């Protein structure tokens, strides 16, 4: 669909810009004595009309990315090939011509130079609208096949039942196969999945679950080794009903991870567990490309899965939800 739209818009753009050029030549031939000021006024009116037409196209075909993010991608070289080169060259050349006209206006106070500068700015805007509409969707670098990571981040609620049964499951290697209905089984299953690669596991804990965290660490020690548990497992006390406090906790965790030299691809965020506010904040936190979002399905088997979503998907989804 977008390829067809691209073809139509490109042909339309060429016809429109060619029409403007023909109009300019016709004016020069029909009115050879027209002054620079009069010609500049006609040129700016034509450029304004073209900008309005492209704006209409832009409003009807909302882009997946904001103009700010597109410009960042161009400057940072995130879009390669002819598309990125075209955008970069157009911005540089158009701004250079515009600045020359502005300097000429300031130097000679020539009003026609100012109008020509405005004309080029309108051309930049017109091209920008077209560029945003045709902007290629950059594929997310997130891998949606669930894989063990070095860093695990998850919430830990207070246990809803006696947890002694989980000890037997761990010792009998049944922690992933038996369903105990004890809420601590899910974080223990997550630990078991990441145990071979895990270097740090952060658990958001409420005041209630913090008081029982040592008991959780004993069970975790049966999975990753009691000699490792103090270095790997860490509790981060959080108010599960305060989204600002939850995000502050996650930002603090991220700072620690960055200081240790880990990257986004090392992080897995499990959004099962905790309150609704915790789940929402964990999901938003994990949307960054290359971070893995995982969860346990709410079925009898509680299958461990990766969530197929990234920041790019979220932006596109929110854009499509607009009522206007």
d(CA 286, CA 268): 8
pLDDT of residue 145: 82
| Owner of token pair 């145990």 | 195
Q: At what angle do helices 81-108 and 67-76 cross, to 10 degrees?
A: 100
Q: Which residue has the higher pLDDT, 149 or 99?
A: 149
Residue 1: what pLDDT? 44
- Among residues 181, 227, 234, 186, the alpha carbon closest in space to that of 210 is found at 234
Q: Any residues with CB less than 8 A from the CB of 272 and at least 6 apart, and which?
A: 154, 186, 190, 279, 295, 296
pTM over 0.85: no
Work out the mean pLDDT of the chain and round it to a whole number: 79
Radius of gyration of the chain (CA): 29
Each residue of 185-196: b (16+ CB within 10 Å) or e? bbbbbbbbbbbe
Residue bearing the bigger pLDDT, 2 or 194: 194
Strands 292-296 and 304-306, sheet pairing: antiparallel
Break the chain into its structural domains and give their ranges: 2-133, 151-320
Tens of pLDDT, residues 46-72: 778 877 877 777 777 665 556 666 666
Residues, the chain? 324
Q: Residue 40's pLDDT band (boundaries 50, 70, 90)? A: confident
Q: What is the CATH number that goes with domain 151-320? A: 3.40.50.10770
Confidence (pLDDT) at 114:
75
Higher pLDDT, 2 or 41: 41
Task: Check whether 274 has a pLDDT greater than 70.
Answer: yes
Given this model, what pLDDT does residue 53 score?
Answer: 77
**What three-state secondary structure class fits 102?**
helix
pLDDT, tens digit, 9 for 90 and up, residues 178-232 = 888 899 999 999 999 999 999 999 999 999 999 999 999 999 999 999 999 999 9
Query: CA-CA distances (angstroms) from residue 279 to 96, 126, 272?
Result: 49, 42, 7
Q: Which of 115, 120, 102 is nearest to 41 (CA)?
A: 115
Tens digits of residue pLDDT in 122-165:
777 777 777 676 665 555 444 568 999 999 999 999 999 999 99
Structure confidence at residue 63 (pLDDT): 57
């Amino acid at each position: 669909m977008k390829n067809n739209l691209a073809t139509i818009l490109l042909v339309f753009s060429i016809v429109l810009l060619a029409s403007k050029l023909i109009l300019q030549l016709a004016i020069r031939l029909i009115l050879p004595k027209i002054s620079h000021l009069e010609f500049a006024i006609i040129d700016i009116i034509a450029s304004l009309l073209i900008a309005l037409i492209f704006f209409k196209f832009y409003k009807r075909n909302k882009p997946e990315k904001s103009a700010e993010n597109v410009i960042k991608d161009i400057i940072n070289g995130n879009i390669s090939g002819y598309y990125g080169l075209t955008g970069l060259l157009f911005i540089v050349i158009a701004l250079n011509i515009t600045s020359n006209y502005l300097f000429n206006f300031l130097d000679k106070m020539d009003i026609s130079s100012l109008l020509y500068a405005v004309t080029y700015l309108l051309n930049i805007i017109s091209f920008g609208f077209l560029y945003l509409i045709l902007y290629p969707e950059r594929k997310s670098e997130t891998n949606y096949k669930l894989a063990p990571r070095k860093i695990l981040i998850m919430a830990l609620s207070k246990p809803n039942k006696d947890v002694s049964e989980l000890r037997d499951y761990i010792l009998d290697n049944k922690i992933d196969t038996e369903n105990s209905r004890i809420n601590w089984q899910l974080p223990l299953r997550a630990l078991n999945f990441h145990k071979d690669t895990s270097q740090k596991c952060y658990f958001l804990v409420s005041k209630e679950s913090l008081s029982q965290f040592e008991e959780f660490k004993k069970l975790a020690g049966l999975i990753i080794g009691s000699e490792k548990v103090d270095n790997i497992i860490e509790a981060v006390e959080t108010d599960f009903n305060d989204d600002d406090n939850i995000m502050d906790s996650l930002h603090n965790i991220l700072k620690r991870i960055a200081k240790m030299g880990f990257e986004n691809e090392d992080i897995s965020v499990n959004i099962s567990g905790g309150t609704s506010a915790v789940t929402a904040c964990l999901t938003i936190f994990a949307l960054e490309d290359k971070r893995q979002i995982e969860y346990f399905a709410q079925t009898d088997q509680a299958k461990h899965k990766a969530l197929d979503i990234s920041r790019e998907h979220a932006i596109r989804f929110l854009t499509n939800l607009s009522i206007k």
